[in-house]
C-alpha cells in the first residue's frame, strides 16, 4: 500500500543545466536507482548530520562548507532544489556533502537502515495547515519515534517552523515521548545556522519562528 505523502509534487520543469547535473554521473547524488549505494555510504561514514527536506539547500551547504570534519547528508524530493545544491557542490568541490533525491519516508520510515546520526534537521517542514491534511506532516508521533531511533548516543533532532499550530503539535508529541530538550546556545553549528528560504518567508510575513532541539 502506498504511504501518505508528506509533500506535494512540484510542477516546475527543470532547466537544461539542472537536468544535466541531476542525470550526470557523480559521487554526490543518489536516488531510488542507487539507494543501496547511498545506504552503504551512510553505513561507512562517521560523524553524520542529515537534513530532511532541505529545499534549496541554503543551510545544508553552508554547514558543510564551514565544517569539513563532519559528513553531511540531505534528502529532498524537490528536483530543482536538489539540482541547485548539486551545482554548488560541483563548483565548490566539497567532499563532505551527499544528497539523496527521493522520499525520506520511503527511505527511512517504511524500512530500516542500519545507521545512526548525530543530528537530524527538519527546517520548516510543510505544515499542512488544513486539519484534514495534518496526517501528511513529516513529524507525526509515529514518525518522530522512528526518526529518534536513528539517533546516535549523543544524537539530537533540530526542528524549526513558522507555523504555530505545528510547533504546538510537535511540542505535545515531544512531551508525550518524554524527550530531553537541549539549549541551542551550547551547539555552535546550530546557533549560527543560515536562514533558509522558508525562514525568510516566515520572517517577512511576521510569523513567529519556533525552534526545538531534543534527543
Ligand atoms: C516548506 S519546504 C522547506 C524547505 C527548506 N527546508 C526551507 O526551510 O526553505 C519543505 C520541503 O520538504 C520537502 N519534503 C517534504 N516531505 C519530504 C519527504 N518525505 N522526503 C524528502 N523531502 C520532503 C519538500 O519537497 C520541500 O522542499
pLDDT digits (tens, 9 = 90+) for 91-139: 999 999 999 999 999 999 998 999 999 999 999 999 998 888 989 999 9
Does 215 score more than 70 pLDDT? yes
Give the atom of ligand 1 at the shortest distance from the alpha carbon of 160: 8
Report whether residue 169 contacts ligand 1, using a CB cutoff of 6 Å. Answer: no
CATH code, 16-214: 3.40.50.150
* Cβ burial 38-53 (10 Å sphere, 16+ → b, else e): bbebbeebeebbbbbb
69-80 tens-digit pLDDT: 999 999 999 999
Q: Verify whether residue 126 is a known catalytic residue.
A: yes
Residue 202's pLDDT is 97
Does 8 score more than 80 pLDDT? yes
Does 12 score more than 90 pLDDT? no
Report whether residue 53 contacts ligand 1, using a CB cutoff of 6 Å. Answer: yes
CA angle 120, 53, 176 (to 5 degrees): 50
What would the grid cell of residue 107 be? 527511505
C-alpha 126 – ligand 1 centre gap (Å): 6
Does 184 score more than 60 pLDDT? yes
Residue 13's pLDDT is 87
CA 203 to chain centre: 20
CA distance linking residue 37 with residue 150, whole number of Å: 18
Q: What is the pTM of this model?
A: 0.97
Residue from 58, 118, 126, 162 carrying the catalytic annotation? 126
Does 2 score more than 70 pLDDT? no
Report whether residue 60 contacts ligand 1, using a CB cutoff of 6 Å. Answer: no
What would the grid cell of residue 32 be? 531510488
150-161 tens-digit pLDDT: 999 999 999 999
Cβ–Cβ under 8 Å, residues 51 and 98? no
Residue 1's pLDDT is 54
Cβ–Cβ under 8 Å, residues 125 and 95? no
Percent of the chain's residues with pLDDT above 70? 99
Cell 563532505 belongs to 96
Does 214 score more than 80 pLDDT? yes
Mean pLDDT across 204-212: 97
Report whether residue 57 contacts ligand 1, using a CB cutoff of 6 Å. Answer: no
How would residue 4 be classed by pLDDT, with cut points 50, 70 and 90? confident
Q: With CA atoms as reference, report the closest residue to 75 among 143, 121, 119, 23.
A: 121
Q: Which residues pair with 31 in a beta bridge?
A: 101
Q: Which residues pair with 117 in a beta bridge?
A: 151
H or E element that contains 96:
none
Mean pLDDT across 49-68: 97
Residue 9's pLDDT is 76
Ligand 1, residues 7, 124, 201: which to mutate, most atoms within 8 A of Cβ?
7
Residue 10's pLDDT is 72
**Extents of the domains making up the chain:** 16-214
Determine which residue's CA is closest to atom 15 belonging to ligand 1: 7
Catalogue the E-assigned strands of 5-47. Answer: 29-31
Amino acid at each position: 500500500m502506498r504511504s501518505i505523502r508528506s509533500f506535494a509534487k512540484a510542477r516546475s520543469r527543470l532547466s537544461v543545466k539542472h537536468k544535466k547535473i541531476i542525470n550526470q554521473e557523480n559521487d554526490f547524488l543518489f536516488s531510488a536507482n542507487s539507494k543501496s549505494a547511498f545506504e552503504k555510504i551512510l553505513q561507512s561514514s562517521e560523524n553524520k548530520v542529515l537534513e530532511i527536506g532541505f529545499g534549496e539547500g541554503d543551510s545544508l551547504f553552508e554547514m558543510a562548507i564551514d565544517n569539513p570534519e563532519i559528513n553531511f547528508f540531505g534528502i529532498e524530493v524537490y528536483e530543482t532544489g536538489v539540482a541547485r545544491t548539486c551545482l554548488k557542490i560541483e563548483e565548490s568541490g566539497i567532499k563532505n556533502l551527499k544528497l539523496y533525491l527521493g522520499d525520506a519516508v520511503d527511505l527511512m520510515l517504511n524500512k530500516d537502515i542500519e545507521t545512526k546520526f548525530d543530528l537530524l534537521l527538519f527546517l520548516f517542514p510543510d505544515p499542512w495547515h488544513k486539519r484534514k491534511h495534518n496526517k501528511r506532516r513529516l513529524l507525526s508521533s509515529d514518525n518522530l519515534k522512528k526518526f529518534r531511533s536513528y539517533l546516535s548516543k549523543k544524537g539530537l533532532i533540530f526542528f524549526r517552523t513558522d507555523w504555530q499550530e505545528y510547533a504546538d503539535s510537535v511540542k505535545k508529541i515531544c512531551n508525550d515521548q518524554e524527550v530531553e530538550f537541549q539549549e541551542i546556545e551550547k551547539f555552535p553549528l546550530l546557533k549560527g545556522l543560515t536562514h533558509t528560504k522558508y525562514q525568510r518567508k516566515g520572517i517577512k510575513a511576521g510569523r513567529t519562528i519556533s525552534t526545538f532541539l531534543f534527543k
